[in-house]
Structure 1
């Protein structure tokens, strides 16, 4: 298993959101506004402390101008050695 796959998916997802947000050079507050979510929720997502709903994953992906599938593929959220 890779180091990445040993992290809970919430943490891998949070890191992906943070990376994409930083690539776009937007703040957590700006992302929250774009996604119609609270800024503290964005912070919790990025730290892997919450388990976002599918609705919120869709909002975040749209706000980050990326498809959900590309978010998972391009930012290593998927675990390759899943049986």
Structure 2
């Protein structure tokens, strides 16, 4: 039985290594076409600080998104 666990672990390692050769999608942000009318500068600052990285066309992709294994998780 322990031999089967070793084979499973080895297979998992091989699969994770092979996944690295899968092409990654190109992460390009669409062009910004407009900006909303903010009700106050405080609201705009809050959005830019807390939400803009994910919920805008100005996303900064983290370094681990260049690796297939992390991208799919």
Shorter-chain TM-score category? under 0.3
Q: TM-score, normalised by structure 2?
A: 0.22
Q: TM-score, normalised by structure 1?
A: 0.20
> Based on CA coordinates, which of the two structures has the bigger radius of gyration?
2
Which structure carries more helix by proportion? Answer: 1
